[in-house]
Structure 1
Amino acid sequence: MKYRLVVTDLDGTLLDNEKRVSSANIEAIKRLREAGIMFTIATGRGERAAGPFIKLLGIDMPAVLFNGGEIYDPSRGPVYTSYLEKDVFHLVIDHFRNSEMGIVTFHHDRIFIADLKPSHDLYLKREKVEVERLKDPEEVDEVNKILLVGDVPLAKKMMAELEKKAGIRINHVQSDRFYLEVIPDGVSKAEGLRKLCDILGIDRQSVVAIGDNMNDLSMIEFAGLGVAVENAEEEIKRAAGLIVPANTENGVAYLIKKIIEGDIT
């Protein structure tokens, strides 16, 4: 069998629209492992938000978190971590603090919010994670990423203005209709997956990667087989070598079945 590892995004891919993993997907992942093929996740989520799914899926190998900014081993903790450059962190915070965008910052398994805004309610309602309140977002300046929540077109426009003003490129990626993520320079899911392949001692051509949003594009292009769910962004579909049913229709289970049965070689 050509493929040795299947890597899936969580939100919009493995998870349905209610942020649940279907029994069909859970059973398929079990069968995949029984067939001798490894399985893990690559997500923009950090340790706290990804942890329940790592446990639910019984993942016992490293996972790619923070859009490639961390390789996390469930038994040992982070084995690789990249932090946002401090000058970029302060530039972004200062530029967005008085906007309508909600600012959420992350440090490993801790999530921070200051200056609670209506847009934060969207994040808290959707993610259902415990957060820590700060008086000022710059109280913690060693972070894995900044999440900007709300009007993403506005956030992209403001980011372009900041880049022009500062004369630098700031690494950012859209991970959801309402989320724009600011991550360390050079970080991407592709680079995270590259590091994971090095750890596992496998070739990129032996990897299947599946996703739906723009933060998945790099790993879909990197993997031996890049796969998009039907609900994916059009650019993701164009980059993928295969399109499977939507996240609400057990697209991951469909893909796994095809791999196990030898329909995908």
Structure 2
Amino acid sequence: MKKKLAIRLVAMDLDDTLLRDDWTISPRVVKAIQKAQEQKVKVTIATGRMPISTRPYALQLGIDVPVITYHGAMVQQVISGEILFRRVIPSALAKKIIGDVLERGMYAQIYLKNRVITSKLTELSEQYARISKVSIEEADLQETISQEPEGVEKILLMAEEAGLDQLTPFLDQRYGDKVHLTKSKPYFLEMTESTVNKGVALAALAERFNIAQEEVMAIGDSFNDLEMIKYAGVGVAMGNARKEIQEQANIVTATNQEDGVAEAIERYVLGSALDLVRRVPEGMTSS
């Protein structure tokens, strides 16, 4: 008899996934997540945001497992703040990258644990601060990096998508084996250490809780969610996700404005529709 599996771990992106366009979580989504947790399903957040920007949402949802931040470069306990995993872009490498992008007139931010630093505060800084609800410091980036012996969690470039798309091949050719390049929004190009992404972090979290890959659901909307969507036994793309993301998922749910996270949890975690969509992750066989 075929063993019936259930979802035991759900990982959700924040922006344009869990959050509505006003950066709040709808009551229906909160209720669905709470019901899943009542049924002993572990629920976490997997985001490109920094921990301090993620924590209020995790507390609102009562999340009691580690959260994935900086696209997987840091995994941290919500309540205690204990860092379980941290991997950085080495300082020498970060300085080279920042030198290249500033030379090309790009707006850049660097991240050091719960600090965000840019060389000159602009309208882009204000826009990011509104979205993330964090304060941004103004300082010389090269000097700041030099004072950090280990390195930085993330480098973020902000510009029109066309400009970022022109710059990406250059950065990929020069640094592609040393950093992981991804987009969380069309106008955000983000860099982390080469070996980390949301998929790698989610796999490590599943292993920590002895949860099989097939028992994991990942929900996201953008390029930085692809690795975890492809890793999960059930990969879910939001209805507002770009076509490239939806094509990689085996479920497309409603949009973030239409409670897409709640719909996915209600149907495939709390409901009985899971067997209709489950796929066997690469490298595994069904039983």
TM-score norm. by structure 2 comes to 0.86
Counterpart-to-counterpart distance in 2, 1:145 and 1:104: 8
**Residue type matched to 1:263 in 2?**
A
Instruction: Say if 2:75 and 2:83, in contact at 8 Å, map to a contact too.
Output: yes
Using the alignment, how far apart are the partners of 2:234 and 2:136 within structure 1? 37
Aligned residues: 265
Q: Tell me the distance in 2 between the aligned counterparts of 1:137 and 1:87.
A: 10
The alpha-carbon distance between structure 1 residues 158 and 169, as it changes in their structure 2 partners (threshold 3 A), is: farther
Structure 1 unmatched ranges of 5 or more: none
State which drifts further: 131-140 or 234-243.
131-140
**Counterpart among 52, 73, 83 of residue 48 in structure 1:** 52
Q: Is 1:245 aligned with 2:254? A: yes
Counterpart in 2 of 1:129? Answer: 134
* Larger mean Cα displacement after TM superposition, 71-80 or 187-196: 71-80
Match of 1:8 among 12, 20, 44: 12
| 178-187 or 127-136, larger mean C-alpha shift | 127-136
Across the aligned residues of Structure 1 and Structure 2, the Cα RMSD in angstroms comes to 1.8
Other-structure match for 1:21: 25
Instruction: State the Cα distance separating 1:178 from its structure 2 match.
Output: 1.6
Structure 2: gaps (5+ residues): 276-287
The answer on 1:73 being equivalent to 2:82 is no
Classify the secondary structure of the residue corresponding to 1:260. Answer: coil
**Counterpart in 1 of 2:274?**
264
CA-CA distance at 1:166 after TM superposition: 6.6
Measured in 2, the distance between the counterparts of 1:181 and 1:11 equals 15
Moved more, 213-222 or 127-136: 127-136
Instruction: From the superposition, tell whether residues 248 and 100 of structure 1 become closer, same or farther in structure 2 (CA, over 3 Å).
Output: farther
Deviations 1:206-239 (A, max 9, x none): 1000100000011000000000110001111011
- Cα offset, 1:137, TM superposition: 4.5
Residue identity in the other structure for 2:52: R
1:153 paired with 2:162, answer: yes
Query: Secondary structure of the residue that 2:193 maps to in structure 1?
Result: coil
- Does the 8 Å CA contact 2:237/2:251 hold for their aligned counterparts? yes
Higher relative contact order by CA 8 Å / sep ≥ 6: 1 or 2? Answer: 1
Contact 2:180 2:197 in 1 (8 A): no
Answer yes or no: is 1:213 the counterpart of 2:217. no
Tell me which of 109, 112, 119 is aligned to 2:114: 109
1:162-177 aligned at under 5 Å gives the runs: 162-164=171-173, 170-177=179-186
**C-alpha separation between the residues in 1 aligned to 2:204 and 2:34?**
25
Offset, 1:169: 5.7
Aligned counterpart, 1:181: 190
Q: 1:167 Cα deviation (Å)?
A: 8.5
Given that 2:95 and 2:142 are in contact with CA atoms closer than 8 Å, whether structure 1 keeps it comes out as no
Hey, what's the Cα distance between the residues in 2 that align with 1:220 and 1:136? 34
Give percent identity, aligned residues only. Answer: 29
> How far 1:189 moved relative to its partner?
0.7
Normalising by structure 1, report the TM-score: 0.93
CA distance in 2, matches of 1:6, 1:165: 36
2:36 counterpart of 1:32? yes
